[in-house]
Chains A and B, each alone.
Chain A
Amino acid sequence: MISYILRRLAATVPVLFTVAVMVFLMLRLTPGDPAAIIAGDNATTQQILDIRTKLGLEEPILQQFFIWLGSILRGDLGESFFFRKTVFELISERIEPTLSLAFLTIVLAVVIAIPLGVLAAYRQGTWIDRVVMGFSVIGFSVPVFVIGYLLIYIFAIKLGWFPVQGYQRISGGVFPWFRSLVLPAFTLSVIYIALIARMTRTSVLEVLSEDYIRTARAKGQTEVKVLFQHALKNAAVPIVTVVGIGVALLIGGVVVTESVYSIPGLGRLTVDAVLARDFPVIQAIILAFSFVYVLINLIVDLSYTIFDPRIRY
């Protein structure tokens, strides 16, 4: 097992190197000049050129790449072109809101979707099944920002239960923190609830016709025990895979949700950095996201052994 984990971790190096090369090249090929943006609208051509020189953008691209790669290998993510802060500092400042949002979203999605999926499978063909699947279709189809604006209109503007926007740090109290995240987390979780509920229903349906379920029922087990102890556990592998993919997809959802709710997290930092062509920040965030993606896949693979002891690495 340990050698498997080490091999998988070693495999991340070429993946991350490829990502690094691609990101670096794509950014340099994208139109837009950070120096012109920094200099402002009234800047002269000379002022812009001075800033380009200062940022090292006048150096040959290959030289820029190796300087950056060297820094990354030394653990230095570089300094933002704009903020006069290191990229590490910026990411550290922004990671809490994003982790909080991702955590609550996944918790909400799992807590709501799995019982719904199990229920839909158990009541297959009934109105309950149809309602759950109908919700699932809506969850897939309606864009995140539409759900966001609807929730804001109802729960923040009309009812005033939650703030319209913004994020409260957890250091300011758990309740304000939670309150500021309810609407964004629910907005973001809708699509995952749809995805996980659907997958849970399908997987549970498959195992419900298995002999061991019949045996469990014959032994007099309650339906709750049959569903959640026997059926769900055996259906867990595909569900965990979907949850894992969901966590990875969350990165994209976080960008939109953080923008709608003005949450100063990594998603917003990414958008701001892309709009401003802040190359060091974009490069570092994409590398970080790639690493997280690879890591989540590894964790998901390892989790299979918990749900299905027959799986060995």
Chain B
Amino acid sequence: MKSVKMSRRTVVAGAAAAGALAGASGASAQGAANVLRVVMHSDLRIIDPIWTTAYIVRNHGYMIYDTLFALDSKGQVQPQMVDRYTVSDDKLTYTFTLRDGLMWHDNQPVTTADIIPSIRRWAARDPLGQTVMGFIASMDAKDPKTFEIKLKEATGLLIFALGKPSSNVPFMMPKRVAETDPQTQITEFVGSGPFMFVRDEWRPGDRAVYAKFQGYRPRSEPASGLAGGKVAKVDRVEWRVITDQQQAINALQAGEIDLIEAPSHDLLPLLKADRNVKLHNWNVLGNQYTLRFNHTTAPFNNPKIRQAALYALNQEDFLKATIGDPEYYKVCKAMFVCGSPLETLAGMEDKLESNFAKARQLLQEAGYAREPVVLLHSTDLQVLTNLAPVAKQLFERAGFVVDMQSMDWQTVVARRVKRDPPTQGGWSAMLTSWVAADILNPVMAGFFNASGDRAAFGWPNDPEIEALRARFARAGSEAEQKQIAEAVQRRVAEAPTHIHLGQWYQPGAHRSNISGWLEAPAPVFWNIEKGRGA
């Protein structure tokens, strides 16, 4: 009898404790009413979006900085900090006027004295910026709100470059910050965007915190992509670091966080089954898988052998093996991305169909001496892990000898910049993924740079592609740009710099009380509202 009483008491005490704990949980949720708690794809460690191209730092940039121009949801560049601009008849002089009410987070007005060094610092780091700077004769502030850019020769790239949506984004910074050496990281984080960085609460590995900037004056147009009115509808955004994907999903389902930028594809069915959670494809252009050749060493220093690879591969196999659900991938032979203004099939019609007979024929014609293809296999990033095994299998079916070497992604990153022969720690091919917004034309897309030593890892050297890229930079109209983009793609189909392996989409996930998440090339948190419940 005594033992029964004891156990009852224990049960009552346990229930009371559980109630108290549950109560604490509820209280905590109430306190978080207008705080958006987000799990991003990575931890924020570096906070200078000009110094690095890392996407998490770009996303941080969109929180606290603003841009002169921005891409809207239709892919059109729209004025953002700029109120209006004019172009002279000879298309050599651009005059820009900043809009009223622009303020830095230290409550100082934004002036053209801040803008010009910001453009310079960005252009010193960004390849597209460097291209555009090659056209610029001078940049002058006419008054605190008006500045003028004079060109040496006309280019259709200037406005697009100033509205470049992805890394490196030309974010505007105060003069004293923008004058930091481009090779050195900035140490002050004052922007003019809709949120302020709360540096005191930034704990790498734990969280980064942003508070609504009360002095931000949004544009009057509705938000659209990265353009339009950037209205912050929550008081605080907290980027919480949860490295374990399953745990991030558990936390979302338990209501401890509100939004996950990039949940793992294999866990999406769990989220789809939860009525309190919604999936949202915020980046409608998506991403593109890519195989990069090392052009400096055999076998891929031979364009015919690279073309054989282009015939050997097909996109569907890669997309099925990595993404799986057809809802989140698209076979797309357009190198400048399906759904973009420069989408074209030119030169690719018969490629990427796994035509092994044609691939073998090309290998024979090229005199392929069975040099092993050293294929770098990244094993720790779920969206990349299955790519290399698929490439290995398809290459081998076409007659290549493949030496697939497995390693973590950071080792791939270090290895791919080595120019040694494959037998001495070098490589022949590796696979990666691009955010579509980074590869919308042949000048901005890094893998089309075929300037040899000055090109990105892989170092292609193709004067014909370089000439076409230079023509693209000078093209004055969209029709001309499209024509040149087609020519670039045709040339790449003959002598591939890299192979595009299909488009894929990364939906985000959020609690059902969250609304207003914009479709844009980068995840942005203005316009998002947090309702009650869920």
Contacts and interface: CB of A to CB of B under 8 A. Distances in A.
- Do A and B make up one complex? yes
A264 B206 contact: yes
B446 interface: yes
Contact of B243 (A82, A175, A262): A262
A93 B256 contact: no
B21 A43 contact: no
Contacts of B375: none
A193 interface: no
B235 interface: no
A268 interface: yes
Q: How large is the interface on A (under 10, 10 to 19, 20 to 34, 35 or more residues)?
A: 35 or more
B410 A47 contact: no
A160 B24 contact: no
A28 B530 CA distance: 47
Nearest to B39: A262
Contact of A176 (B24, B247, B410): B24
Interface of A: 31-33, 36-48, 50, 54, 82-85, 90, 93-94, 149, 152, 156-157, 159-167, 175-176, 179, 259-262, 264, 268-269, 271-272, 275-277
B183 A54 contact: yes
Interface stretch (B45-53, B135-143, B150-158, B479-487): B45-53
Contacts of B168: 42
Contacts of B254: 156-157, 160, 163-164
Interface stretch (B102-110, B261-269, B325-333, B411-419): B411-419
Given A40-B54, A45-B417, A271-B243, 17 more contacts: A33-B417, A36-B414, A36-B416, A37-B413, A38-B52, A41-B167, A82-B45, A83-B46, A84-B185, A94-B205, A160-B254, A165-B242, A165-B256, A262-B242, A268-B243, A272-B204, A272-B205
Contacts of B242: 165, 262
Contacts of A47: 125
B164 to A, nearest CB: 11
A240 B416 CA distance: 51
Given A164-B254, A262-B247, A39 B53 contact: yes
Residue with the highest number of chain A CB atoms closer than 10 Å, among B21, B22, B432, B453: B21
Interface of B: 18, 21-22, 24-25, 28, 43, 45-47, 52-55, 57, 125, 127, 167-168, 183-185, 187, 203-207, 240-244, 246-247, 250-251, 253-254, 256, 407-408, 410-411, 413-417, 432, 438, 446, 453-454, 456-457
Contacts of B203: 93, 264
Given A157-B250, A262-B242, A268-B243, A37 B410 contact: yes
Contacts of A156: 250, 254
A166 B246 contact: no
B241 A82 contact: no
Contact of A179 (B21, B241, B256, B454): B21
Contact of A41 (B18, B53, B247): B53
Contacts of B207: 264
Contacts of A38: 46, 52, 54
A259 B456 contact: no
Contacts of B410: 32, 36-37, 275-277
B45 A83 contact: yes
B417 A179 contact: no
Nearest to A45: B417
Contacts of B167: 40-42
B183 A157 contact: no
Contacts of B54: 38, 40-41
